[in-house]
């Protein structure tokens, strides 16, 4: 399995846990991927499966469709596009779902854990060519989602508008974080998710702890000079920005 690092930490773990080998490709300095480099890296690695996280966790980075197309053309393997955070992307943007027709080696997955705020249900879903879905039915674990989980997911989909009502508010707060961080001396990366990765942190561990002591919990994901904050309510976002402003650690 091949993916562009840094990306969702479960990909390498699940790959190894299922007896596969994880091959990490490289991103540009701002965590973006360009089509030519992506295609060259995939052609070189010749993976059975390419995992593309769009937008990417933990960086928030959008993944242009031309990159997905170039990767698809560069491999004879499966290309899985993980759109776990897609609902937070700009509304006018095209999802990889629009690329599925005529691409029988592509699958697009989503989850109810993020925008639906329904992580407790443990339910996600996937779209792909009928032959891929049939093959998945053969290899999936014998104990499927419970009938109750499926009923809950169907009900959530029927009430998608209500379930997704907070997405717009979260996007406003995410953009407010990105717009405010430079004034505090930090550099936010472009985000199409519900979190913002920012650099310019001299000592991420120390800043993380200082925020924690002020009652604000964010993520130190181990990227040098970076921290990641998830957008919350307006009050929570204000609390984060005020706390960060009171911590003197921009490099
Ligand atoms: C990129 C990405 N994909 C998939 C998932 C899995 O979500 P779940 O297992 O809750 O459906 C996550 C959760 O953090 C994620 O960040």
Cα(first)–Cα(last) distance of the chain, in Å?
37
Q: Both 140 and 197 in a single domain?
A: no
Residues with CB under 6 A from ligand 1: 8, 53, 57, 82, 84, 111, 113, 119, 124
Q: Both 22 and 139 in a single domain?
A: yes
Query: Is 83 contained in some domain?
Result: yes
CA atoms of 209 and 174, how far apart (whole Å): 22
What is the predicted pLDDT for the residue at 163? 87
Residue from 57, 194, 228 whose mutation best tests the ligand 1 pocket (most atoms within 8 A of CB): 57
Query: For residue 10, what are the CA distances in angstroms to 5, 42, 241?
Result: 12, 20, 29
- Report the chain (251 residues): mean pLDDT per 10 consecutive residues: 98 97 97 98 98 98 98 98 98 97 97 92 95 93 87 93 92 98 98 98 97 98 97 97 86 49
What is the predicted pLDDT for the residue at 98? 98
What is the predicted pLDDT for the residue at 223? 96
Kindly report the CATH number assigned to the domain that includes residue 101: 3.40.640.10
State pLDDT tens for residues 151-192. Answer: 999 999 999 999 888 999 999 999 999 999 999 999 999 999
CA of 163 to the centre of ligand 1 (A): 18
What is the predicted pLDDT for the residue at 72? 98
Query: Is 61 contained in some domain?
Result: yes
Burial label, 109 (beta-carbon count in 10 A; 0-12, 13-18, 19+): middle
Residue of minimum CA distance from atom 4 in ligand 1: 84
Residue of minimum CA distance from atom 10 in ligand 1: 113
Q: Both 152 and 221 in a single domain?
A: no
Q: Both 18 and 126 in a single domain?
A: yes
What is the predicted pLDDT for the residue at 126? 95
Query: Is 251 contained in some domain?
Result: no
Q: Which atom of ligand 1 is nearest to the CA of 112?
A: 11
CA atoms of 234 and 172, how far apart (whole Å): 9
Query: Is 40 contained in some domain?
Result: yes
Residue from 3, 8, 86, 219 whose mutation best tests the ligand 1 pocket (most atoms within 8 A of CB): 8
Q: Which atom of ligand 1 is nearest to the CA of 124?
A: 11
CA of 159 to the centre of ligand 1 (A): 21
What is the predicted pLDDT for the residue at 130? 97
Q: Both 79 and 147 in a single domain?
A: yes
Q: Which residues contact 162 (CB under 8 A, 6 or more apart)?
A: none
Burial label, 130 (beta-carbon count in 10 A; 0-12, 13-18, 19+): exposed
Q: Both 68 and 171 in a single domain?
A: no
Domain total of the chain: 2
Query: Is 250 contained in some domain?
Result: no
Choose one of 134, 162, 190: the last residue of a domain: 162
What is the predicted pLDDT for the residue at 248? 74
Query: Is 93 contained in some domain?
Result: yes
Query: Is 91 contained in some domain?
Result: yes
Q: Are strands 106-111 and 78-82 parallel, antiparallel or unpaired?
A: parallel
Q: Both 191 and 149 in a single domain?
A: no
What is the predicted pLDDT for the residue at 250? 52
Which residues constitute the domain of residue 237?
A: 167-245
Q: Both 154 and 177 in a single domain?
A: no
Kindly report the CATH number assigned to the domain that includes residue 202: 3.90.1150.10
CA of 247 to the centre of ligand 1 (A): 31
Query: Is 240 contained in some domain?
Result: yes
User: Would you say 189 and 199 are in contact if contact means Cβ atoms under 8 Å apart?
Assistant: yes
Choose one of 128, 162, 196: the last residue of a domain: 162
For the chain, give percent helix, strand, coil, nearest 5. Answer: 40, 15, 40
Q: Which atom of ligand 1 is nearest to the CA of 56?
A: 1
């Amino acid at each position: 399995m091949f993916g562009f690092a840094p990306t969702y930490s479960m990909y390498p773990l699940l790959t190894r846990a299922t007896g596969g080998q994880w091959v990490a490709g490289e991103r540009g300095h701002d965590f973006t991927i360009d089509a030519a480099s992506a295609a060259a890296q995939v052609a070189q690695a010749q993976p059975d499966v390419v995992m593309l996280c769009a937008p990417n966790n933990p960086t928030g980075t959008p993944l242009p469709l031309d990159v997905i197309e170039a990767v698809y053309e560069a491999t004879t393997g499966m290309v899985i596009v993980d759109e776990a955070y897609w609902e937070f992307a700009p509304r006018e943007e095209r999802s990889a779902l629009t690329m599925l027709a005529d691409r029988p080696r592509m699958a697009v997955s989503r989850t109810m854990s993020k925008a639906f705020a329904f992580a407790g249900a443990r339910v996600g879903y996937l779209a792909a060519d009928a032959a891929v879905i049939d093959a998945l039915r053969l290899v999936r674990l014998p104990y499927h989602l419970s009938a109750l989980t499926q009923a809950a997911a169907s009900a959530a989909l029927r009430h998608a508008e209500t379930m997704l009502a907070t997405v717009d508010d979260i996007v406003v707060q995410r953009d407010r974080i990105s717009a405010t961080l430079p004034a505090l001396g930090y550099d936010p990366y472009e985000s199409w998710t519900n979190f913002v990765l920012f650099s310019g942190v001299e000592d991420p561990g120390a800043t993380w702890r200082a925020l924690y002591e002020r009652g604000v919990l964010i993520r130190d994901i181990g990227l040098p000079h970076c921290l990641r904050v998830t957008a919350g309510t307006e009050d929570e976002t204000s609390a984060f920005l005020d706390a960060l402003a009171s911590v003197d650690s921009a490099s």
